[in-house]
Amino acid sequence: MPAIDIENLSFSYGDKQALKDVSIVVEEGDFTGLIGPNGSGKTTLIKNILGFIESEKGEIEIFGEKAMDFSDWNRIGYIPQHFEEDKQFPGTVRELLEANRSITGSTENIESLDIDSFLDSKFKDLSGGQKQRAMLALALQKNPDILILDEPSLGVDVEAQENFYNLIKELNDQGTTIILVTHDIGVVSEHTDKVICINNSVCCQGKTENLSKHVEEVYGDNYRLFHHMHEH
Ligand code: ADP
């Protein structure tokens, strides 16, 4: 049974159609990169899966259950794109984790994240890489079966990014299904096993080794531009 199975999903913000007839499958245990240029509907697709917004057309199934009937949301961990909104949060990482534990109520699974050295630092004072690990720790407190990461490496230096992707790979090796949203073709070809490429509708999906060349050809100029911006 797929972890996520979406059929003919369409979604519009008013007159603006963000998703058109999107059909995708994410199998349990996959490490999937969801890729597409800025504005291609990646975040909209994730928000539909998480039930933050509701599609007017199409079907979403999570572990074989229709999304609207699905209730075990602890099975899905989500790290959103904008940590910036949390910048003003006055608490420490330890306080955040304790508050979160009282909501999720489940055991911790975060020893490998190496967050001890900044547990008592305020979240807003952390570096990009530390924030990323703190966010991952929060998501892992639920012991999720699926982990969805939306552009997790924005504002994070290269070494911290590498460490972070290694952690994600370990989680995947232990059986967690990973969906990594990014516009960075380099990240997808290096770290994921499968790729779904969208530009409001699905352009291609399949094994990364078969598709990364194709994706590069379709979106080459965009990706070069983004790489350039990261580097400087
Ligand atoms: P991506 O995550 O791939 O950058 P998004 O899903 O954020 O793309 O956006 C897809 C399209 O929908 C874009 O054209 C964007 O401007 C539009 N959009 C996103 N969120 C909203 C919103 N809340 N209201 C109106 N339009 C939106």
- Best residue among 11, 13, 54 to mutate for probing ligand 1, ranked by most atoms within 8 Å of CB: 13
pLDDT-based confidence at residue 29 (cuts at 50, 70, 90): very high
More confident site: 112 or 104 = 112
Helix axes 93-104, 128-140, angle to 10 degrees: 20
Pocket test for ligand 1, best of 10, 12, 16, 179 (most atoms within 8 A of CB): 16
Top-confidence range, 44-48, 149-153, 160-164: 44-48
Q: Pocket residues for ligand 1 (CB within 6 Å)?
A: 13, 16, 18, 36, 38-44
More reliable by pLDDT, 149 or 157: 149
What confidence score (pLDDT) does residue 172 get?
96
Q: pLDDT value at position 127?
A: 86
The pLDDT value recorded for residue 42 is 94
**Nearest CA-CA partner of 90 in 133, 124, 132, 134:** 124
Give the gyration radius of the chain's Cα atoms.
17
The average pLDDT across 20-42 equals 95
pLDDT at position 112 over 80: no
Asked if residue 173 has pLDDT above 70, the reply is yes
